[in-house]
């Protein structure tokens, strides 16, 4: 055995460890990059003036399945005409509503439509974060007595990082 044999074994052993570490790292990256996101939930928050009642017919949080739509019912009663502003806690710079992965800065965008006049699913209107819209269906004699729905839709993708995603949607009713 010459004096270089020990060094060669050491270098060979170091290569094995390095290759093993690279393989473990790549497996971790691929495992994290390919699985679909875990649970996605929307928490619902309301701001309603006295004398008006806005109720969502399902308990919050609302669970979603990626690549699908979820219809949620609501009832609304009140005696004065009001505007509704719907906001996301995690909007993009283009007012796209989106869920945020808890503990990181990864997002899943979603779209929302809302039945502002209680006329049914065919009367759904696209919602944009922070845009104010007058509630329809007001009767001068009886005020509001709406039974409507809103729909949340997500796209299916293998590119969303694995994790738990959530957003808080706020429904704020105002006189102007």
9 Cβ contact partners less than 8 Å away, ≥ 6 residues apart? none
pTM of the model: 0.75
- Rounded distance between C-alpha atoms, residue 130 and residue 94, angstroms: 11
pLDDT of residue 29: 38
pLDDT digits (tens, 9 = 90+) for 9-61: 444 434 333 333 333 333 333 334 434 456 688 888 889 999 899 999 988 88
pLDDT of residue 27: 35
pLDDT digits (tens, 9 = 90+) for 93-140: 999 999 999 889 999 999 999 999 998 777 899 999 999 999 999 999
User: CA torsion 133→90→48→148, rounded to 10°?
Assistant: 60
Give yes or no for residue 157 having a pLDDT over 70: yes
pLDDT of residue 114: 96
């Amino acid at each position: 055995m010459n004096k270089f044999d020990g060094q060669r074994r050491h270098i060979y052993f170091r290569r094995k460890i390095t290759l093993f570490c690279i393989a473990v790292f790549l497996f971790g990256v691929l495992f994290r990059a390919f699985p679909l996101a875990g649970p996605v939930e929307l928490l619902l928050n309301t701001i309603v003036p006295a004398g008006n009642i806005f109720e969502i017919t399902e308990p919050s949080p609302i669970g979603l399945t990626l690549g699908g739509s979820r219809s949620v019912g609501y009832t609304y009663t009140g005696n004065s005409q009001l505007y509704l502003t719907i906001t996301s806690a995690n909007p993009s710079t283009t007012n796209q509503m989106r869920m945020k992965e808890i503990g990181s800065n990864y997002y899943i965008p979603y779209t929302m439509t809302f039945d502002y006049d209680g006329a049914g699913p065919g009367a759904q209107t696209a919602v944009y974060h922070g845009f104010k819209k007058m509630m329809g269906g007001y009767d001068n004699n009886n005020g509001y007595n709406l039974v409507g729905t809103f729909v949340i839709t997500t796209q299916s993708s293998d590119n969303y990082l694995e994790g738990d995603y959530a957003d808080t949607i706020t429904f704020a009713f105002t006189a102007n």
